[in-house]
A = this chain, B = another copy of it.
Amino acid sequence: MLEELGKKACEAKKKLMIASEEEKNNALKAIAKALVERQDEIISANAIDLENAKKNGMSTAMMDRLKLDGERIGQMAQGVLDVASLPDPVGKTLLEIERPNGLKIKRISTPLGVIGIIFESRPNVTSDAASLCLKSGNVVILRGGKEAINSNMTTVKIMRDAVKSENLPEDVIQLVEDTSRESATALMTLNGYVDVLIPRGGAGLIQAVVKNASVPVIETGAGNCHIYVDKDADIDMAVEIVFNAKTQRPSVCNAAESLLIHKDIADDVLGKIKEKLDEKNVELVGDDAAVKIIDINKATDEDWATEYNDYKMSVKVVDSMDEAIEHIYKYSTGHSECIVTDNNQAAEEFLNRVDSAAVYVNASTRFTDGGEFGFGAEIGISTQKLHARGPIGLPELQSFKYKIYGNGQIR
């Protein structure tokens, strides 16, 4: 069944990859308009999902993530318009070479082709991912969770109608309506049709995709982020950065999970950090040295590797920056790490040696985000090193091709 979707996607790709910026923007504007105009249809479909969720005993927090109302649909529509206003990434000349034999070689950005997105419960991902893919000239095959299937089907139907009304193929946006485990596996192995698969969701989903996919994958999202407070840190700044990185939005991947603190200032700083984190009732767990300084429970080995996504943080006192960096090597997921220091040399060494997508000096890890980087929007945060690393914006949704101009050259 998925092969049929794949074939349609490849047909639609031929048109979309050469569509003009105006054609794509018109389709995006039509989508935004239709989402608002036809919001009642979405809200009705969403009501069915909510009812099923309630029957199945879904938590209130999860129900809230699933819910769509006029305000949220308005935000989805605005998100689509925001994407329309971003620069078109397609067709940019990335490199020009002229060879001694007269060959002119141009490296030109091109869409990746067909992007598969596997996501979980949030139904707003449909318009979010579809608009980023459309703007970047990529066909998208969406595969959402069963909890949101009615919302997703209706939203995708509305988007496809809008795209068609602007004379682009409706198949540039497709939804896998079968939400079985088998359909997810089928999408992961749809070689020849899917050029890249991007999972959006929790660690379980991402690991399943990495393990089972034979199509190329961009791994996203896992963030066991560290803040190292150096002996030369500005103490007030350290307190503010740790507090912000931990508590401003603990459920997201760029929130800090682990605090490493140099032994020379631990006595002075740990108490201040704890006092500040107490304002939000953050639970701290620490190593032997930390539990001697502040009144907290001992951390287990598991703690160092855990992305809490909650008001909880592990704390370790280190003898040196070396020890901090070794700890990060061992436990980091390669997302975002930060050093707080006034020592420029230490800062540069930390920046160079820590092998993560985003490495900060004196700023909250919460800035690892497409919007905060000025990319306008993102489809996720890549924690792998192939192709894209960090926030995946429109330019990262491009491949390239070489156009080579000759006048009869042979070897």
What is the interface of chain A, defined by CB distance below 8 A to chain B? 10, 13-14, 17-18, 97, 99, 103, 105, 110, 112-113, 191, 195-196, 210-214, 216-219, 234, 237, 240-241, 243-245, 248, 329, 347, 351-353, 355-364, 366-368, 372-374, 384-387, 389-390, 399-411
Contacts and interface: CB of A to CB of B under 8 A. Distances in A.
Given A97-B373, A216-B217, A402-B357, A411 B113 contact: no
Nearest to A243: B410
A410 B248 contact: yes
A370 to B, nearest CB: 12
Contacts of A409: 362-364, 367
Contacts of A210: 191, 214
B406 A361 contact: yes
16 contacts: A18-B352, A99-B372, A191-B210, A195-B384, A195-B385, A216-B385, A240-B408, A243-B410, A244-B411, A245-B410, A359-B402, A362-B405, A367-B411, A386-B399, A389-B402, A390-B402
A387 B196 CA distance: 11
Nearest to A350: B403
A18 to B, nearest CB: 5
Contacts of A347: 405
B385 A196 contact: yes
Contact of A363 (B218, B372, B389, B408): B408
Contact of A399 (B389, B401, B402): B389
A223 B351 CA distance: 41
B401 A389 contact: yes
A358 B408 contact: no
B240 A363 contact: no
A356 B103 contact: no
A205 to B, nearest CB: 15
A196 B387 CA distance: 11
Contacts of A402: 357-359, 368, 373, 389-390
A113 B357 CA distance: 13
A387 B389 contact: no
A406 B374 contact: no
B360 A406 contact: yes
Contact of A112 (B218, B364, B385, B403): B385
A340 to B, nearest CB: 9
Given A17-B355, A216-B385, 11 more contacts: A14-B329, A103-B367, A105-B373, A113-B355, A213-B214, A359-B401, A363-B406, A367-B411, A373-B402, A389-B401, A389-B402
A209 to B, nearest CB: 10
A21 B92 CA distance: 31
Q: Which 10 A-B pairs have the closest CB atoms?
A: A363-B406, A244-B410, A385-B399, A387-B387, A363-B409, A216-B386, A358-B402, A362-B406, A237-B408, A366-B411
A82 B203 CA distance: 44
A408 B353 contact: no
A23 to B, nearest CB: 14
A193 to B, nearest CB: 12
A241 B385 contact: no
Nearest to A369: B411
B241 A408 contact: yes
Nearest to A384: B216
A173 B369 CA distance: 36
A404 B353 contact: no
A182 to B, nearest CB: 18
Contacts of A240: 408, 410
Contacts of A234: 408
A81 to B, nearest CB: 21
Contacts of A17: 355
A360 B410 CA distance: 12
A103 B362 CA distance: 10
A88 to B, nearest CB: 14
Contact of A386 (B97, B112, B407): B112
